[in-house]
Amino acid sequence: MVKGGLKYWLWFLFRFVLVIGIFIYLIKTNLLDLQNLKNIVLEPNLFFLAMVFAGLGTLVNVQRLRVLLKAQDFSLEFWTATQLTFIGVFFNSVIPGTVSGDIVKAYYLGKGQEKKTELATTIFFDRILGLYAVAFIAAMGATISFLQNSFAGQAAIWGQPKVQMLGSFALINFLLLTFLGVVFTNQKLRKSKIVSGFFSKMPFKEIVSKVNEAVCQFAMKPRLSTVAFLLAVLAQVFILTGILCLLTLLKIKALGLINYLFAVPLCLLINSIPITPGGLGIGEIGFQAIFELFNSNKGAELAVLFHALFLIFNIGVGGVFYMSSDISRSRRQQVSVKEKPSV
């Protein structure tokens, strides 16, 4: 136990030092100019508006979680789901780890419930669906951007090999996630000898079987799954609109709307790579590299504002929910999630 704990904290220390090192490198090489961030003081209204859109995106995610739980034949009140979601985003920012908030949500949601595995699977499926929505927008943005620039005779951007590589990555990433989703939710494939044999030989096969059954439950409720996906896309639209406010704050004018829908979702995918806490440092490098391809040198500053926005929102708003919620204040309090009979 001690050895495992030591490894955990050594990994956290490495990630923390890596973040510091990345920021020092960005500042020393002038890739990150902190002077560009002074606009947040001169025009705080845009930063506040971006936070409002972040809040709207979070509320949409609340409803998405409720829809996914409904697909598992569970019912959760909107206010309770709101408390859980904001407590989750709070812990995403204050506890080391990529999915800390999801673990906390799964703990509170599953406390006192018999079907803990199904509830925990829903929480993690919710996160994957959010990433899938980002991949979908990036792939659609890349496709439309390519077609628009080709028909308009403006091939300068897509003439760059790096942009072509990013466009290919966006499409391949989306198609790969779609393929994996079909494989894991298709009942015929699941019952095939190869797949069933694979699952039967896995360790903790009883838990794996429950997780597999829970995932397949989403495929058996296509209407609810479609609604959840559309809500995931809507949540990302709100977040992208918030980032657009930050873009305006930094006076970045190099991207048109279509290229924006291609570039920024890719930045968010890079930011979600679980190397550093919250994508700090990695996000700044990713934003800077992608924005340079679109003739802008303020990508790192945009990433700093993006991280600052969600850090303030997650800790500020999420912290209020955590401190005031009955769910978190009482150790014996359990979430009122009701199982509905299957029909």
pLDDT at 219: 81
Is residue 28 in some structural domain? no
Euclidean distance between CA atoms 24 and 20, whole angstroms: 6
Euclidean distance between CA atoms 12 and 16, whole angstroms: 6
Is residue 104 in some structural domain? yes
Euclidean distance between CA atoms 239 and 297, whole angstroms: 22
Closest CA to 315 of 102, 93, 82: 93
Is residue 75 in some structural domain? yes
Print the domain residue range for 297: 50-329
Mean pLDDT per block of 10 residues along the chain (343 residues) reads 64 82 89 82 88 96 95 90 90 71 84 81 91 94 85 68 89 91 73 66 65 77 93 97 93 84 92 84 93 89 93 90 74 58 51
Q: Identify any residues that bridge with 337 across adjacent strands, giving them in sequence order.
A: 76
Residue 337 burial class via C-beta count within 10 angstroms: exposed 0-12, middle 13-18, buried 19 and up? buried
The helix (run of H) or strand (run of E) holding residue 228 is helix 222-249
pLDDT at 341: 54
pLDDT at 332: 45
Is residue 266 in some structural domain? yes
Is residue 45 in some structural domain? no
What is the domain count for the chain? 1
pLDDT at 1: 44
Is residue 9 in some structural domain? no
pLDDT at 343: 45
pLDDT at 211: 72
Is residue 15 in some structural domain? no
What is Dmax (Cα atoms) for the chain?
A: 65
Which distant-in-sequence residues (6+ apart) come within 8 Å of 290 by Cβ?
A: 166, 263, 266, 267, 270, 299
Is residue 300 in some structural domain? yes
